[in-house]
Amino acid sequence: MVRYRPVRRLIVNADDFGRSHSINEAVVGGHRHGILRSASLMVNGPAFDEAVEMARQNPDLGVGLHLALVCSRSTLPPKEIPGLVKDRSEFSTRPVASGIKYFVRPSMAPQLQAEIAAQLAKFHDTGLQLDHVNGHLNLHLHPTIFRLLIGNAERFGMRALRLTCDPFWLNARLARGRWFYRATHAVIYRLLSGRARPRLRQLGIRHTDRVFGLLQNAHVTEQFTLKLLPNLPAGDSELYSHPSLDEFKHEYDALISPRVRRLIEDEKIELIRYQDL
């Protein structure tokens, strides 16, 4: 008897494309020699121009916008968004405090709207196809930011978005430690994704059924990936990480691991991009 295998499709994505040369090299290496199929571009990253050129040289790599409104620099000058950045166009490095401010101060909305549109426009000017949108530290699901971001969906051709919801109980079977971080983030993003899902459905914006990587928080290792793949649920999933050749080389090593590649083939998992949904 032939064993039935449910259809399982997986987007393997790298965040922070354009943040550094080391990250850019890891993205290209993970795509050419491993399982990486897409990357999320920080349009104000120091290595942005290099990342764009690398993306053009690798047309099968799906490239999306990694919207950055904390721990990064802005597209617009400080005089246009004085409530968001300092004199050097630097966003706050305190994401929780920033999230609270963006929520409780309605006066921030016009400035956030302008910066979100500016980052989308800067991506559009590269000429790259917008494969997807997500946010640095997943802040794109913040209620205020999500509302403003979705308001730009039609204007900038946004067709897919990361709906960050990492299944806690599955993750608990696969990894140990950092229980408080993992439990709190699982709850927070389950609530935020549940709130966003009906609006995405209404607008026809595509997303995967689940997202892995949030609860690992820079610990998407070869060992974790080898445990995840046989347990990957049916349907469409995303696994995201932050590969680099220095700080997070262990995440790059997982992407190019021959053991991981063989297991994907053995498990009949199809690797796709967001534009393939």
CB count within 10 Å of CB 41 equals 29
Cβ-contact 250, 221 below 8 angstroms: yes
Mean pLDDT along residues 164-181? 95
Cβ-contact 237, 209 below 8 angstroms: yes
Q: Give the model confidence (pLDDT) of 183-203 as tens digits.
A: 999 999 999 999 999 999 999
Mean pLDDT along residues 117-138? 97
Q: What pLDDT is recorded for position 106?
A: 87
Query: Which pTM was predicted?
Result: 0.94
CB count within 10 Å of CB 45 equals 22
Tokens for 219? 């610990």
Residue of higher predicted confidence among 112 and 3: 112
Q: What pLDDT is recorded for position 5?
A: 65
Checking if the pLDDT of 250 tops 80, the result is yes
Percentage of the residues of the chain whose pLDDT score is greater than 70? 98
Distance CA 92, CA 202 (A): 33
Counted residue by residue, the chain has a size of 277
Mean pLDDT along residues 154-177? 95
Distance CA 140, CA 133 (A): 8
Q: Give the model confidence (pLDDT) of 8-38 as tens digits.
A: 999 999 999 999 999 999 999 999 999 999 9
Q: Give the model confidence (pLDDT) of 45-81 as tens digits.
A: 999 999 999 999 999 999 999 999 999 999 999 999 9
How many helices (H) and strands (E) in the chain? 10, 7
Q: What pLDDT is recorded for position 87?
A: 81
Checking if the pLDDT of 1 tops 80, the result is no
In angstroms, what CA-CA distances link 122 with 19, 48, 65, 127, 134? Answer: 15, 11, 10, 10, 15
Identify the structural domains of the chain with CATH numbers, from first to last. Answer: 8-276 (3.20.20.370)
Instruction: For tokens 């999500």, name the residue.
Output: 146
